[in-house]
A and B are shown apart, each in its own frame.
Chain A
């Protein structure tokens, strides 16, 4: 349907036509016409954040938890530059976001006008694609294209920079077509020959391992279903990256836990010893591989990814399959069933026995205390007390994030929102706002650290305004814990600037933001305090005072191989024979 309308009205119409129910944003001079159009309609609900970075993270949380495209509107200049961190975050973690930025009128572009910046120039390297609209005739096409590009192939953020005169101008609005894009047509169907070769290789495997990533989550629920089917059919063990948690249920016996720098002993050793690795939608990130020349040295590698540039980027794949995880997994299942491919059961039994040996190291063990809350214990209790609920977890970045990944068990995809690639402190609160907006009845918890959480604390005000009962569960160890851990291990314990000095009173802070504050510092009180938090129908800041000295293990020091991982004291003690030097090299 073609209709005459202003550019601002086109923006709102394009939101509605592309299924946007909520848009996160912040008004300003260069987007006033869009805000005026938003004001005069009811289809699209605007959520006013307190900082533009929060708008993008909220849209990311919304997108990750729903599978839809997150939508953002910010103004020109500082509005756009503040959004950059969120855009870079969405690019690294492949999250579909459309961010509209206001721009000074076209005739002033390049004049250093008030609140002008070169938005397309600044955001070019931190978006999947971006546009500057210079003609009203292009606007509706570009808006629809932005949603298409953001969501298709490997998802990512798209910026559309709209000068103010274009928002005022009148033109013809055309509805979205299903034509897609003239050049951007990502390949979703895997090459059948390669799939056949992959299945044949899998059937020869003696020590196979699935290694899955965020691509499975991004592909949608069907991919997770097919992955589960294939893993159960082949009976192969499975590990996943930080981004892929939830695609395979953590309660399943074939699940080895997360791998990588803070992954489990069994997952990393299995990775190191496997002879056939099936990478589904993961990208061989350096947090996963450690030392590249010692990464899974005995393995043949199958790599499934929708982005051709992911294949052979860091690690050479023996069989690289370009396609969407769901399509490829479906075809692999068919190929496995159609051929006489069978798991080498005898070899697999031995392999699982070997894995059970690594499991027996109980690498996540920690020395609990009656006097002080151990951060691991806090997450364990949080998980135990919320596991039967409809729960979504977001995190900030640091030790608490890794403990959450280790100790919180995810059974379903899209329940775990964390900043993986960029590692953005301050991600958790705004992401929780976005998740809660999409799932008003669910329990949304931001597992946080006292340092990260202060980076975007102002979004508590957003939560209060929209009555979003998000729960901010702070593991307060009074340190930027991960920084301190690295300083302890690599810089002689010189804790340069990593102590959280002059912390606010988080209970009072919660109250100041119209929420509820809870403080807990005794293990014996923890369960009832968590229960109290769950029962409160308001934003809550839970200040959980934990052991300030605790470090996050296991850990592969960067630049080391998987079989050189460090274990914590408790797990390390299990084998008394290992001396101090050997412990480093277990």
Chain B
């Protein structure tokens, strides 16, 4: 008997890569110990991407938290992520905001910029143009608070870079569907 190709392994080959999509998922979960670990463990264990994840209690009486997860993957992987999340016992509902109709997503960032003279004036001028607020100031620095879509914040941060950007703290994306209905 002859041997198969030397390249043959114990497992089937990886499928040819399909185009990847970015999706925003809203996940309603019981706010109980370990629930975040379950979700994160699911993503790391199955090799899914997390681009952004936010979580906070949203309904105190019912102990419900809402997670907003931004992930990328092929359409098949995105469907898997949704079903795998729904399989977790403390998960109430998963909504794919990217396919479930129009949705709004926002992120908040605090941006610290250090500088004097023209740079300082320019930073303030740009902050105004981006509707960023000054929430802390010293003789040689500002902390701006900016809210918006992630790409807007990216853009603002890029502009601050040559003007003396010190550091940035971002919340990650939160999102909600448009219109009168809840999830």
Interface residues of A (CB under 8 A from B): 120-121, 124-125, 128-129, 132, 149, 181, 183-184, 286, 289-293, 307-309, 311-313, 316, 486, 489-490, 492, 557-560, 566, 569, 572, 580-581, 583-584
Contact = CB atoms under 8 A, between A and B. Distances in A.
Which of A291, A559, A560, A572 lies at the interface centre, i.e. has the most chain B CB atoms within 10 A of its CB?
A559
Given A129-B89, A490-B3, A558 B37 contact: no
Contacts of B4: 489-490, 557, 560, 566, 584
Contacts of A129: 88-89
Contacts, number: 85
Interface residues of B, number: 33
Interface in B5-36: 6-13, 15-16, 30, 33-34
A289 B11 CA distance: 11
B14 to A, nearest CB: 9
B11 A559 contact: yes
B89 A292 contact: no
Given A125-B41, A291-B13, A312-B79, A183 B89 contact: yes
A125 B41 CA distance: 7
B164 interface: no
A165 B161 CA distance: 56
Given A312-B76, A486-B10, A559-B12, A184 B2 contact: no
Contacts of A316: 76
Contacts of B88: 129
Contacts of B30: 183
Summarize B's interface: helix, strand, loop or mixed.
loop
Given A183-B30, A183-B90, A557 B8 contact: yes
Given A129-B89, A489-B3, A286 B80 contact: no
A181 B8 CA distance: 46
Contacts of A293: 15-16
B116 interface: no
Interface in B29-66: 30, 33-34, 37-38, 41, 45
B89 A121 contact: no
B110 interface: no
B45 A125 contact: yes
Contact of B1 (A290, A292, A583): A583
A558 B12 contact: yes
Given A121-B37, A312-B79, A292 B87 contact: no
Contact of B89 (A125, A181, A580, A583): A181
Pairs A-B, 9 closest by C-beta atoms:
A309-B83, A129-B89, A308-B83, A557-B4, A580-B2, A184-B89, A557-B8, A309-B84, A559-B12
Contacts of B41: 124-125
